[in-house]
Amino acid sequence: MSLTVAIVGRANVGKSTLFNKLVGRKLALVHDTPGVTRDRREAPATLGPLTFTVIDTAGIEAGGKDSLELRMAAQSYAAVADADVCLFVFDAREGIVTADQIVAQYLRKAGKPVVLVANKCEARFSSASEAWSLGFGEPLQISAEHNIGFADILEALMPFAEQADADDKAAEDEANKPLRLAIVGRPNVGKSSLFNLLLGSERALTGPEAGITRDAIAAHWQAEGRDILLHDTAGLRKKARVAGHTLEEMSVGSTLDAVRFADCVVVVIDATQPFEKQDLIIADLIEREGRAILFAVNKFDLLENKAGAISKLRDKLDASLPQVAGAPLIATSATTGEGLDRLLPAVLAADRAWNARVPTATLNRFLEDALERHAPPAVSGRRVKIRYMTQPKSRPPTFALFGNQLDALPDAYIRYLTNGLRDTFHLEGTPLRFLLRSTKNPYADKKSDKK
């Protein structure tokens, strides 16, 4: 991830002029008329030795409900959410006005790093003390039109670029680590047999007796050029049967530690007794831990009627565990080796979904289509308004919704968005998380004061 910088502020303070200077060409229209920029625009930029992505935004201006100004502001809010740092630009000639204070208030709530920039400082800047009232320290004094002060912008951005580089290195180091894969399930469903078959050796003791495996054991496995740390675990029995048995309690604790340590978890199901209550409890536990998940339907060779069996199990899985709907379901047999050629690709696909990042612009195109197909319901006569969406993190993919009255958004609508995200961005096999960020209209208080 390279450094991403958003240029924000009220209308007509020179944001687009600064944007054009940073990208080295006139991509954004520039005119004295306020509000020329309406959509956010991004492009690669260079400033001395620093390369980064810069986003030009519309001016954040007052507007009524569903007005063009409010929709333009929502575009700016999305850019802020997508940025690592914001250049907050104000007009040094006019000084600090109420609209600047409104922008500052929003940026403080957004919690993103802010570099304050006083533009149009061709002459001596006389509003420095006034600018401190915005709460972002002393402003950089620049003139975008006359190429003044760009060295100061470079100096201000360098620490954020170094942090972005450090984050990139950490992500690269994480990507080079082995994929941590745990095999879990009820006792005697064939976990250790599957573990041995994947490794190609009798690494774990197996037998017809339930509960042979006491402790989670790990072994390194390499398949298709990918290093994998494979964990075999003790069977997870019902809590009532474990309580009071110290050894079994320790075994369960070891299994739970393996799940928390894992990136991806294979839940082994007995094909002759599929999706019993304990299977569902185990899968729900893994989803709540936020791990990628897939299901191996083991002992499939023992089924007499295999035709349509997987389809029926798929329907049962999606109905019983909608929170992991669409998770891979692989028919396997640790005795015959059936399905092992499909298991590893399914693991890698679930891991990719778990690590997936969706660009903000792509997410908001999805959101626009989703809202058009099915708008959120009204609450107490007022419709819930979702303005935009971002993805602040992955592992598992976590999406933030911004709007008003989002606390009243029904679970059914979250499921609607969840299913749409899974289908659109191929996020099968991973839990999805939502953060609801209800935003207050910054102009509401201003309007009430005028009445």
pLDDT digits (tens, 9 = 90+) for 276-285: 888 888 888 8
Q: Which CATH architecture group holds 4-174? A: 3-Layer(aba) Sandwich (3.40)
432 is in an annotated binding site: no
pLDDT band at 425 (very low <50, low <70, confident <90, very high): very high
Residue 29 has pLDDT above 50, yes or no: no
pLDDT digits (tens, 9 = 90+) for 217-235: 677 777 777 788 888 887 6
11 is in an annotated binding site: yes
Using CA of residue 304, residue 307, residue 310, residue 311, what is the dihedral sign?
A: negative
pLDDT digits (tens, 9 = 90+) for 355-379: 998 887 788 889 889 999 998 888 7
pLDDT digits (tens, 9 = 90+) for 119-154: 988 766 656 567 888 888 889 999 998 999 999 999
Residue 171 has pLDDT above 70, yes or no: no
Mean pLDDT of 418-434: 92
**Domains 177-354 and 360-447 belong to one CATH topology:** no
Residue 438 has pLDDT above 50, yes or no: yes
Structure tokens given for 55: 């986003």
First to last CA, the chain: 47
CATH class, domain 177-354, is alpha beta
20 is in an annotated binding site: no
24 is in an annotated binding site: no
277 is in an annotated binding site: no
Tell me the three state secondary structure of residue 15: helix
Amino acid 239: pLDDT: 54
Residue 178 has pLDDT above 90, yes or no: no
Q: What percent of the chain has pLDDT over 70?
A: 78
Residue 100 has pLDDT above 80, yes or no: yes
316 is in an annotated binding site: no
33 is in an annotated binding site: no
Amino acid 26: pLDDT: 73
pTM of the predicted model as reported, rounded to 2 decimal places: 0.65
Mean pLDDT of 439-451: 46
10 is in an annotated binding site: yes
| All structural domains of the chain with their residue ranges | 4-174, 177-354, 360-447
233 is in an annotated binding site: yes
The number of beta carbons lying within 10 Å of the beta carbon of residue 429 is 25
238: Cα separation from own chain's centroid? 33
191 is in an annotated binding site: yes
86 is in an annotated binding site: no
Q: Which CATH architecture group holds 360-447? A: 2-Layer Sandwich (3.30)
237 is in an annotated binding site: no
